Amino acid sequence: MRFPAGPGVVVSVLATALLSGCQHGKNLTAAGEVTVQPVSTKTVRVVWAEAWQDGEYTVVRGGLMRRGISAYPLTGHVDVRFVDADGHVVRHASSREVGIRRSTPGKGPRLSPFELRLKFRPAAGSTAVVAYHAGAHER
């Protein structure tokens, strides 16, 4: 019996399983307490993202994928803004450097994982806006 999915699907499933297997705590996204709003750009797509509560830390993690074919990798960071039910930004954080692999025709998609840990507890009904920005963060 053959597996009907292509190599890209297998890679995505394995990456998700590996990242999910090590997580302890409560999945805030699955519980409906925090909505995650991915913001994709012309060059990078936020494939998935979720928020977890791990003790006193909120963990936002997910996967990024390069759009189109490119011969060079990208280096940038992930910004997360927690917005309350009234639309006010209550917390903002940026990840360390995240590399997005170059894309190669015929190799399938390449998922680049990211994770941010914030000593913060979002209120129920909050939204985490997740966006990738190429280059260094402006301080």
Q: pLDDT over 90 for what percent of the chain?
A: 42
96 found inside a domain: yes
97 found inside a domain: yes
106 found inside a domain: yes
**What range does the domain containing 76 cover?**
7-134
CATH number at residue 23: 2.60.40
In which band, very low, low, confident or very high, does the pLDDT at 113 lie, cut at 50, 70 and 90? very high
139 found inside a domain: no
127 found inside a domain: yes
- Four-residue CA torsion sign, 8, 99, 56, 130: negative
84 found inside a domain: yes
- The number of distinct structural domains making up the chain is 1
Give CA–CA dist 101/22, Å, rounded: 23
Residue type, 43: T
Query: Is this structure's pTM higher than 0.85?
Result: no
1 found inside a domain: no
In which band, very low, low, confident or very high, does the pLDDT at 15 lie, cut at 50, 70 and 90? very low
**Strand ranges (DSSP E) for 71-121?**
74-83, 89-94, 98-100, 112-119
How would you classify the pairing of strands 74-83 and 89-94? antiparallel
pLDDT in tens, 35-91: 999 998 888 899 999 999 999 999 999 999 888 777 778 888 999 999 998 889 999
